[in-house]
Amino acid sequence: MKKQYQVNLSQQAQNDLERIFYYIADDSINDAANFILQLEKKVYTLELFPDRHPLIPENEFFDTDYRHLIFKKYRIVYRITESSVFILRIFHGAKLLNL
């Protein structure tokens, strides 16, 4: 039987989604809404097998065991506990991770 995890977004990740939405909405509100829906759908795939995605290279510097999921040009950084996945940040892949 597959183990299912509870996916939780940190306040910072929620803020990240809002910033992404408004950035895209400057050109098209419909595109922004569609993009956020697609991104959220991708995030919630982490309910099953969240450990299938790689560890982030920054773990070496932060002494963490975070993973990331790539969606288009964005990185979704998260950590796994016994029964939950915590989404820490969602940011453009060209930017540096800032926890």
Q: Which residues pair with 9 in a beta bridge?
A: 87
The tokens describing 67, both together, are: 């993973």
Can you say whether the dihedral through the CA atoms of 7, 10, 13, 18 is positive or negative?
A: positive
Instruction: Examine the pLDDT at 99 and tell me if it is beyond 80.
Output: no
Instruction: Examine the pLDDT at 26 and tell me if it is beyond 90.
Output: yes
Domain 6-92 matching CATH 3.30.2310.20: the answer reads yes
**Residues recorded for the chain:** 99
Mean pLDDT estimate for the chain? 94
How much is the pLDDT for 51?
Answer: 95
CB atoms within 10 A of CB 86: 18
| Model pTM score | 0.92
d(CA 60, CA 64) in angstroms, rounded, equals: 7
CB atoms within 10 A of CB 71: 18
**For the residues 30-49, what does the mean pLDDT come to?**
97
